[in-house]
């Protein structure tokens, strides 16, 4: 009975979380300022990055005057949602934020767990990476100034993409990325879950973690990788990019600069701290910003002062490492 109750509790919590984020996205999209044209931005929707798979679609967000400005830096944006929910449509505000700043943004969809567990999402992200490397110039993007960005589960995926671009791996999808020869100029993994295995580590670190929050973390892990022990197999390295970066395997190419952000009230905060330490130990440029008292994915609420500060910090980092 207790097991069934736990399943019902998790399902109810999951539905509540999904409904909240979907509702916020829809409501925000109805505001007049959400219209891309108000910001000098245009959107090309549902471009196939793999015509053989109907779920492999992306939207291109770019300045209307991109042609007169020459090739612009490109962003490959990977949405969050615990590998299970949400889409490029729910994450339009992220794409708009980059595009209005002068980037050509490739905002992707990917297959979702549990119907499509690891490595499906990463396979799709790798395919999108290869497609962007081959086609960005057709849309006004410059892959010599490629940025990888994502939040939460998307942060995990862009960290793994950066690893695939720099480490010679055995996985065919990772080899597809490495074979492009393109190393991103910057990686922006915001409030990421960088080790999907071992969700219990959050309870070990913070025994008072609420049951609702822990249920969300546990269902992410179960849906994406199942009941695997951390580090049980090298095949899970790219589900746990944090453990890969903490390990002693050398990279064939230098890792690009990382800009890490997280609110101090985010239950995933420790993964950002560990990732910063691991990258720094490798000699990789890693800048980290913590935002006092802010919850998970706070920067999506762009009207709030803390979110505005986050975006100012992000673009200052990009100005230094990509644009300048």
| Euclidean distance between CA atoms 283 and 186, whole angstroms | 15
Q: Which of helix, strand or coil describes residue 240? A: coil
pLDDT of residue 98: 98
CA-closest candidate to residue 152, choices 219, 78, 222: 78
What count of other Cβ atoms lies within 10 Å of the Cβ of residue 173? 20
Helix axes 2-29, 92-99, angle to 10 degrees: 40
Q: Which domains does the chain have, with CATH numbers?
A: 2-323 (3.40.50.1820)
| Euclidean distance between CA atoms 197 and 11, whole angstroms | 20
This prediction's pTM = 0.92
pLDDT of residue 1: 42
Q: Give average pLDDT by consecutive 10-residue segment, the chain, 324 residues.
A: 53 57 56 83 98 92 95 98 96 98 98 96 98 98 98 98 98 98 98 94 88 93 81 80 96 98 97 98 98 97 97 98 89
């Amino acid at each position: 009975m207790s097991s069934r109750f736990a399943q019902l509790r998790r399902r109810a919590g999951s539905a509540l979380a999904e409904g909240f984020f979907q509702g916020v996205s829809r409501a925000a999209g109805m505001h007049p300022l959400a219209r891309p044209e108000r910001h000098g931005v245009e959107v090309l929707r549902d471009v196939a990055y793999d015509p053989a798979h109907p779920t492999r679609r992306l939207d291109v967000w770019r300045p209307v005057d991109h042609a007169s400005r020459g090739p612009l830096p490109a962003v490959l944006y990977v949405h969050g949602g615990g590998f299970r929910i949400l889409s490029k449509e729910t994450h339009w505000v992220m794409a708009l934020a980059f595009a209005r700043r002068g980037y050509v943004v490739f905002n992707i969809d990917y297959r979702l767990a549990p119907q499509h567990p690891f490595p499906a999402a990463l396979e799709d992200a790798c395919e999108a990476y290869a497609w962007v490397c081959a086609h960005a110039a057709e849309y006004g993007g410059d892959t010599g100034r490629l940025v990888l960005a994502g939040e939460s589960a998307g942060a995990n995926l862009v960290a793994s993409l950066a690893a695939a671009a720099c480490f010679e791996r055995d996985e065919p999808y990772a080899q597809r990325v490495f074979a492009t020869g393109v190393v991103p100029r910057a990686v922006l993994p915001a409030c990421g879950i960088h080790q999907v295995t071992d969700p219990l580590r959050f309870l070990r670190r913070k025994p008072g973690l609420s049951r609702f929050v822990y249920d969300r973390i546990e269902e992410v892990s179960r849906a994406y990788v199942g009941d695997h022990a951390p580090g049980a197999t090298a095949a899970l390295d790219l589900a746990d990019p944090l453990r890969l970066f903490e390990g002693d395997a050398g990279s064939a190419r230098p890792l690009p600069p990382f800009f890490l952000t997280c609110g101090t009230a985010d239950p995933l905060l420790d993964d950002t701290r560990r990732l910063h330490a691991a990258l720094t130990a490798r000699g990789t440029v890693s800048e980290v910003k913590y935002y006092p008292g802010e919850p998970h994915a706070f920067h999506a609420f762009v009207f709030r002062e803390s979110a505005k500060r986050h975006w100012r910090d992000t673009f200052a980092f990009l100005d230094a490492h990509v644009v300048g």
